[in-house]
Amino acid sequence: MINLVRNEMLKLLRKKRLYVIVLIIAFLVPLFTYAQFKEIQDQREKLGNQDWRTVLQQEITDTQNRLSSSRIQDEWRKYLKIRLSQQQYYLENDIDPRAPGAPTFMRIFVENSIDLLLPLLVMVIVADLVSSEASGGTIKLLLTRPVKRWRILLSKYLAMLLSVSFIVLSVAVLSYGISGVVFGYGGWNMPLLTGFSVSGDELITDNVHIVPQWQYILMEFGLVWYVCVIVGTLTFMLSVLLRSTAAVMGIMLASLIAGAILANMVSSWESAKYFFMVNLNLTNYVSGMATPIEGMSLGFSMSVLAVWGIAGFIIAFVTFSKRDIY
Amino acid sequence: MSQSPALEVENLTKRIKGKQIIKGVSFTLFPGEVFGFLGPNGAGKTTTIRMIVGLISPTSGTIKIGGRNVRTDFTEAMRHLGCIVENPELYPFLTGWENLEHFAKMDPSIPKSRLQEVITLVGLSNRIHDRVSTYSLGMRQRLGIAQALLGRPKVLILDEPTNGLDPAGIREMREFIRQLAREENLSVLVSSHLLSEIQLMCDRVAIISKGSVIRTDSVQNLLAEQERVIWKAEPLPLAKQLLSEETEVTEGADGTLITLYNEPLLPDWNEKLVKGGVKVKEMRTQLPSLEDLFLEVTGGESID
Ligand SMILES: Nc1ncnc2c1ncn2[C@@H]1O[C@H](COP(=O)(O)OP(=O)(O)O)[C@@H](O)[C@H]1O
Ligand SMILES: [Mg+2]
C-alpha cells in the first residue's frame, strides 16, 4: 500500500498541480497582507493616535447607530445585534480583537478562505485524480495489475488526504511567514473568546471562555482541514463517476459558489441547511458569527458534512470496484 | 499440446445496454503459441479482450489465466498476465523509466533488476529517461510491451499491436512477438483485422464476426483450404473450357483464370492444358483475402 500511495504522490507532483497551488497562496497572502495593512493604517489615520479601546467604543456606537435606523432588514439587524454584544464583551473584558500580528492575520485569512478559496484549491488538486486516468486510458494498465481495485482507489484516496493536508499546512506556513514580515511574528498568546452560540436573536455567552490565540488557531485549522477533507472526498467521488475532469470541476465549482450565495439568502428555506455547501463555514461557530439558517450549530454542520463525506466515499468505492472500464 | 493451457475462455457472453455484443466465445491458448484473433472492426475483439483482462465483467462464461479464474481469483490470475488494450497509453508526463517503475512497484514480486531486462528486451535503452510525451508511436508500443512483460507473464495479450505502425515497425513487431513466444515460452494473443498480419505471425487463429467465433484452426489449414491458383494462359477461352472440365474456374479481372489450389492435381491440369494446345505463361498461388475467407466460412455473408 505504501508503494501505491508513493506512485500516486509521484504522479501528483509530476503534474505540478501542488506547485501551482502553493504559488496561488504565495501570491494571495501578500495581497491580503497589504489590504489588512492598509486597513489598519487607514483606521489609525482616521482616529489619530487613539487607543484601540476608543476605536472599539467607536465601532460599538457605530453599530448602535445603524441598529437604530428603521430602514434596515430584519436579518441584518439580527446580525448587528449579535456583533454588538460580542464587541461589548470584548471591551468589558479588555481584549483587543484586532491586535495585529502574524497569528491574527493567519486566523483572519483562514476564516475568510474556509468556505470558498480553500475548497477551490482542494478541488483543483483532486478533480482529476481518477478521471484523468480514465480519460488518458492509463486506467487500463492500472487495473490490470495483480492488485484489487479497491486498494488502488484507496491509495488514491490517501494521496488525496496527504495533498489536502499539504494545502492546509501551506496556507498556515505561508500566511504566517509572509504576513509576519509586515505585522511581526508575535501574538500567539493573545487571549481570544470562543464558545459563543446563537439561539434566535440572542448571542448566548454562557459557554464563552478565553483561550490563547494559538489554541484558537489550532482549533480553526482543525476545522479547515475537516472541511477540506469533505470537499476533497466529494470531488474524489465525482472524479470516479465522471470521465471528464472539466465536468468534475464544473459541478464542484457550481456547488461551492451556490453554497456561498445560498448562505447569504436562505434563512427562510430551512431544509437548505442539509446541503453540504451551506455548512462549510465552520470557523464562524468558533468566532460566534450568525448562522445562515436557524438551528445550525457546529455539531449539526459537522454531522451534515460527515454524512455527505461518508456517502461520497462509499459511492466512490462501490462504483469503482464494480464498474466496467471501456 | 499436452501442456496445460495458459488461457482458457469458455462460453463468454457480454450484453451492453440490452445489446448482445459477445455471443458465446470460447478458445484456448497453449504455452509458446501465438494465437490470432481475427475479425473486422466492430466484431467484438476488444470487448472480449477487456473481459479477459478484467476491465469489464462478463455477463456469463469463465476465463482462466494460468488456471486461475479471473473473476474469483483476480490477483493471482493477473500475476500471469501482461496486456495492452487498444492504444499503449502511458503517463506522458513521466519518463519511460518512471512509467515502468510505477507499474513494477504495484507488484512486489517484481525485482528491481527486471526493469533493465525488459528495457533491453524491447530496445529502448537510449531514450528510457526521456518523457513519454516525446516518444513516437512505435516507442510507446515498445514501452507498452515492456510494462506488460514486467511480471514475467505466461500470457501476453496485444490488441491490434501493429495499428498505426509503419511497414518497418510492423515487421519488427511481428518478429519480436514470434521471438517472445519462442524464447520465453509465452502464449501471445494478438488481435487484428488484417489477415496478412495474422498469417505471418500466428500459429492458430480464431475468426470472430459479430460477436461469435465462427472458426478456430491452424493458420496453415485455414489458408491451404482457401489458397487459389492464378493462371495466365492463351488462348483464354480454350484454357477456361479445359480447366472447367476439371474444377471450378472463375475469371480474374486482368485476363487471368482462378482455380482452387489442389496440390496433387495441379500438374495434371497443367498437362491437360499444354496437350490441348494452350500456352501456359504463368501459374502462381495466391492467399485469399480476409474477405474471401469470410465469404467462405460465413457462407456468403458479408463482413459488415
Ligand atoms: N461501451 C459500449 N457500449 C455499447 N456498445 C459497445 C460498447 N463498446 C463496444 N460496443 C459495440 O460492441 C461491438 C464490438 O466492439 P469492439 O469489441 O470494440 O470491436 P473490435 O475491437 O473487434 O473492433 C461494436 O459493435 C461496438 O459498437
Ligand atoms: Mg478493437
Contact list in A for residue B56 (CB cut-off 8 A) is: 324-326
Q: Is B104 a domain residue?
A: yes
Q: Report how far residue A31's alpha carbon sits from residue A278's, in angstroms, rounded to the nearest whole number.
A: 27
Query: Nine-digit cell at A119?
Result: 475548497
**Ligand in closest contact with the CA of B25:** 1
Kind and range of the H or E run holding A248: helix A245-265
* Contact partners, residue A223, CB within 8 Å, separation at least 6: A114, A282, A283, A286
* Contact partners, residue A219, CB within 8 Å, separation at least 6: A194, A211, A286
Angle at B266 between CA B260 and CA B272, to 5 degrees: 115
pLDDT at B300: 55
| Residues B213 and B88 grouped into a single domain | yes
pLDDT at A163: 94
Residues 7-46 of A with CB under 8 A from B: 7, 10-11, 14-15
Q: Tell me the percentage of chain B whose pLDDT exceeds 70.
A: 93
Angle at B191 between CA B123 and CA B89, to 5 degrees: 50
Q: Is B294 a domain residue?
A: no
Q: To the nearest whole number, what is the mean pLDDT of chain A?
A: 85
The yes-or-no verdict on residue A92 having pLDDT over 70 is yes
How far is the CA of B279 from the CAs of B235, B272, B285, in angstroms?
Answer: 7, 11, 18
Answer yes or no: are the C-beta atoms of B132 and B104 closer than 8 Å. no
CATH number of the domain where residue B69 is located: 3.40.50.300
| Residues B115 and B172 grouped into a single domain | yes
Query: Nine-digit cell at A322?
Result: 464494480
Place of cell 488494450: B85
Chain-centroid distance, C-alpha A244: 26
pLDDT at B223: 72
Answer yes or no: are the C-beta atoms of B139 and B124 closer than 8 Å. yes
Kind and range of the H or E run holding B28: strand B19-29
pLDDT at B291: 65
DSSP B94-117: SBHHHHHHHHHHT-TTS-THHHHH
Q: Is B2 a domain residue?
A: no
How many helices (H) and strands (E) chain A has is answered by 13, 4
Of how many residues is chain B composed?
304
Considering only the beta carbons, identify the residue of B55, B86, B108 that sits closest to A143. Answer: B55
Q: Is B302 a domain residue?
A: no
Substitution target in A2, A17, A138, A144 with the highest count of B β-carbons within 10 Å is A144
The yes-or-no verdict on residue A321 having pLDDT over 90 is yes
Which residues form the domain of B110? 7-223
Q: Is B292 a domain residue?
A: no
| Residues B113 and B218 grouped into a single domain | yes
Q: How far apart are the first and last CA of chain B?
A: 35
Give the distance from residue B145's alpha carbon to the nearest chain A alpha carbon, in angstroms.
Answer: 11
- What pLDDT band is residue B304 in, cutting at 50, 70 and 90? very low
CB contact under 8 A, B89 and A145: no
Contact list in A for residue B55 (CB cut-off 8 A) is: 140, 143-144, 324-326
Domain ranges of chain A: 2-322
Judged by a CB distance cut-off of 8 A, whether residue B91 touches chain A is yes
Q: Are strands B204-209 and B34-38 parallel, antiparallel or unpaired?
A: parallel
Split into its structural domains, chain B has a count of 2
| Residues B60 and B202 grouped into a single domain | yes
Q: Is B198 a domain residue?
A: yes
Answer yes or no: are the C-beta atoms of A104 and A186 closer than 8 Å. no
Distance of CA B16 from the midpoint of ligand 1 (Å): 9
Selection from A18-22, A86-90, A157-161, B106-110 with the highest mean pLDDT: A157-161
The yes-or-no verdict on residue B1 having pLDDT over 60 is no
| Residues B25 and B158 grouped into a single domain | yes
Q: What is the DSSP letter of A187?
A: -
A43-57, B99-113, B216-230, B231-245: segment of lowest average pLDDT: A43-57
Q: Report how far residue B68's alpha carbon sits from residue B72's, in angstroms, rounded to the nearest whole number.
A: 8
> Whole-structure pTM over 0.90, yes or no?
no
Residues with CB under 5 A from ligand 2 (ion): B 46
| Residues B202 and B158 grouped into a single domain | yes
Say yes or no: ipTM exceeds 0.90: no
Residue that is last in its domain, among B184, B200, B223: B223
Angle at A246 between CA A241 and CA A252, to 5 degrees: 70
Other CB atoms within a 10 A radius of the CB of residue B270 amount to: 17
Residue that is last in its domain, among B175, B206, B223: B223
pLDDT at A205: 58
pLDDT at B138: 87
- What pLDDT band is residue B303 in, cutting at 50, 70 and 90? very low
| Residues B66 and B103 grouped into a single domain | yes
Does residue B267 have a cis peptide bond before it, meaning omega lies within 30 degrees of 0? no
Q: Is B303 a domain residue?
A: no
Which residue has its alpha carbon closest to ligand 1 atom 18?
A: B46
Q: Is B304 a domain residue?
A: no
Answer yes or no: are the C-beta atoms of B213 and B223 closer than 8 Å. no
Answer yes or no: are the C-beta atoms of B53 and B46 closer than 8 Å. no
Q: Are strands B257-260 and B250-251 parallel, antiparallel or unpaired?
A: antiparallel
| Residues B57 and B154 grouped into a single domain | yes
Give the distance from residue B78's alpha carbon to the nearest chain A alpha carbon, in angstroms.
Answer: 5
Q: Report how far residue B150's alpha carbon sits from residue A146's, in angstroms, rounded to the nearest whole number.
A: 12
Answer yes or no: are the C-beta atoms of B285 and B228 closer than 8 Å. yes
A19-23, A33-37, A199-203, B20-24: segment of lowest average pLDDT: A199-203
Q: Report how far residue A230's alpha carbon sits from residue A15's, in angstroms, rounded to the nearest whole number.
A: 23
Largest CA distance in chain A: 72
CB contact under 8 A, B105 and A4: yes
pLDDT tens string A165-212: 999 999 999 999 988 888 878 777 766 667 666 666 666 656 666 677
Instruction: Note every long-range contact of A21-26, with CB atoms under 8 Å and residues 24 or more positions apart, other chains counting.
Output: A21/A121, A21/A124, A21/A125, A21/A167, A21/A170, A22/A170, A22/A174, A24/A121, A25/A121, A25/A170, A25/A171, A25/A174, A25/A175, A26/A174, A26/A178
Of B13, B15, B20, B21, the one to substitute when testing ligand 1's pocket (max ligand atoms within 8 A of C-beta) is B21
pLDDT tens string B18-73: 899 999 899 999 998 999 998 888 889 999 999 999 999 999 999 999 889 998 99
